[in-house]
Structures are given as structure tokens and as C-alpha cells.
Amino acid sequence: MSDAALFDLTGRAALVVGSASGIGRAAAIGLGAAGARLICADANLPGAEETAARIASAGGRALARAVDIIDATAVRELVRAAAAECGGIDILVSTPGVNVRKPLLDYSESEFDRVVGLNLKGTFHLLREVGAHMAERGRGSIIVLSSIRSQVVEPGQSIYAATKAGLVQMARTLAAELGRRGVRVNAIAPGVVETPLTEPIKKHADWYRAYAEKSALGRWARAEELAGPVVFLASDASSYVTGAVLFVDGGWTAIDGRFDPPL
């Protein structure tokens, strides 16, 4: 197999949930460029339709579907429909996430339920349904989006960090459970990425600059820079990779908390 063929996804079907914007949109477009057929799913259907249209305009094949991953029945119906439309699902990319930034002592129960319900329980719904489908077929690659907050935190990120750490362990456990059935499960942990989720930070110049300076590369990531890692984990290039967490953080976790002494 040639080096280029390792990343070729022609003939494979990918379900990307959270594809209306940000990392999800970039992942869907990247998978489409690698040859995959896309089901672009999101609670924001017009956004998912725009992503599908972009893929189609570049010569790819894509459909858009609405889904609320908090609704277990809706997720089950989405997976069944996507499998029927594409003859099976080969790749799942799960990106949805929400954050409420405030001290833990100020958190309300409704805010806790909102963050945990979407980030953790919603992803559980996806993993359960798609995992069962892939296990029955004997093949597949599942990719969940975690965060550097699964490892390093800051004040105001307690519940979000807990969900992102939980996603890692859920993905790793599923990898252990489904490996013998031909299904690989991995997580990607981005650093700070310019997406709608982080848009409020851009309004605070000092905060935005401080985040940029925390990484070894000295800048934020663009959402498009996550497409390559997604394609890698979806493709045969990562055929022996499962239960892994790929940090795509510009070196943030490698140097977090550093002090540069006056040498």
C-alpha cells in the first residue's frame, strides 16, 4: 500500500456529529477531501446543510441530518438512517460540547446537568449506538473530541474538565471492549481552538493573548488544523492505534506551568 493510500477513505461512510461549525465542520470537510461519504449531523440543521454543501461543491458526497444527542431515541434513529443511506457507518466523529465558565461553588444544578448532559451523556448515546453497529459489522473507527482540560485545568472549568476527562475514559474503555471485534476508538484533545465555543474569549484581548502564549507555538489553533488528526485516526494509517489520546495542543500540555528562567 502506498503512503497516499494509507489516508484514502474512498468507499467509507463517516458520520460527523457537531458538523455545523468549528472542529466538526473542519473534520467533515477533511474527511470528504480524503474520499469519505459524509453524513453531517447537528442540532443546527442549517449549519450542517451548509457544511454538506461545501463538501459537495468540492466534488464530495454529503447529506445533512438534524439530531439532538441528548435524546437517545433521536440518536438511535439517526444511526439507523445513516447506516441505511450509506450501507453502514465506517467512521464516527463526535464533537459536540458546551461549557459554563464559573467557579464550582457558583454552579447551579441546571448548569451542571446542561454540561454533563450534552458533553458526557450525549456522547454516551452516540458511542452506544454506533459502537453496537460497528461491532456487528466487525470494523470501524470512532473518534471523540476531548480537550486539554481532561489533563490540565484552570479556575472556572471544573465541570467541563470533568466531562472531558470522562470522555477519555469512556473512549478508552470502549476501545478495550470492542478491539477484538474490529472497532478502534480514540480521542483527540485539542488545545485552544478558534471556534464558536471560544468566541467570547476573543473579546478579551489579554485573555486571548495569554492563551496563545501558553503553547509552545505561541498561537491559537485554527479549526482546520484538527482535520488532519481526524483523517489519520479514521484511516488505515492508524490501523494499530486504539485507546489513545492524541493531544493537538501546540505543545500546551508539554510546557504547562513552565517558568523561563533568565539563563
Element (H, E) at 80: helix 72-86
Nearest CA to 149 out of 107, 193, 105 is that of: 193
User: What pLDDT shows up at residue 196?
Assistant: 82
C-alpha cell at 164: 472531558
CA distance 146 to 35: 25
Helix (H, G, I), strand (E, B) or coil at 248: strand
**pLDDT tens-place string over residues 39-83:** 999 999 999 999 999 999 999 999 999 999 999 999 999 999 999
Q: Name the percent of the chain lying above pLDDT 70.
A: 97
**pLDDT tens-place string over residues 206-250:** 889 989 998 999 999 999 999 999 999 999 999 999 999 999 999
User: What pLDDT shows up at residue 262?
Assistant: 67
Give bridge partners of residue 91 from the DSSP assignment: 14, 141
User: What pLDDT shows up at residue 3?
Assistant: 72
* Domain range annotation of the chain: 4-249
C-alpha distances out from residue 199 to 70, 103, 140, 175, 203, Å: 24, 20, 33, 33, 7
The pTM (predicted TM-score) of the whole model is 0.95
User: What pLDDT shows up at residue 198?
Assistant: 83
Question: DSSP for 171-239?
Answer: HHHHHHHHGGGTEEEEEEEE-SEESGGGHHHHT-HHHHHHHHHHSTTSSPEEGGGGHHHHHHHHSGGGT
pLDDT class of 263 with cuts at 50, 70, 90: low
Say which of 160, 208, 211, 240 is annotated catalytic: 160
CATH superfamily ID and name for 4-249? NAD(P)-binding Rossmann-like Domain (3.40.50.720)
| Beta-carbon count within 10 A of 111 CB | 14
pLDDT class of 259 with cuts at 50, 70, 90: low
160 counts as catalytic: yes
Q: Is the pLDDT of residue 34 over 80?
A: yes
